[in-house]
Amino acid sequence: MEMMKDYGQEDGFTLWEELSVDECNLLVKDIQGLDLLRIDQIIRCSLGSQGSPVLAIELVPEASVSTVEDRIPEARE
């Protein structure tokens, strides 16, 4: 989690308590496989090349997010 905090991504653990043990283990494994320093460098380089200021990346508002379960069958495809 400390690694995620260094890059402002600790929100990735917001729903940790709702995950099963297997899901927690998979999430940790996936996060450990990330090269957050490299990802940060790519983002900063990309934003810098566009002339945009480097801003903190913020979460999408929850009201703007849906899950597959929330969608009608026709919208799931």
Q: Which one, of 50, 55, 71, lies nearest residue 8 by Cα?
A: 55
Q: How far apart are CA 28 and CA 4, in angstroms?
A: 11
Residue 6: how many CA atoms within 13 Å on its side-chain side?
8
Give which of 46, 60, 12 is closest to 32, Cα–Cα. 12
pLDDT in tens, the chain (77 residues): 777 888 888 887 888 899 999 999 999 899 889 898 899 889 888 877 666 565 677 777 888 777 767 666 776 55
Whole-model pTM: value is 0.51
Domain extents in the chain = 2-76
pLDDT at 38: 92
Six token digits for residue 36: 């957050």
How large is the C-alpha radius of gyration of the chain? Answer: 16
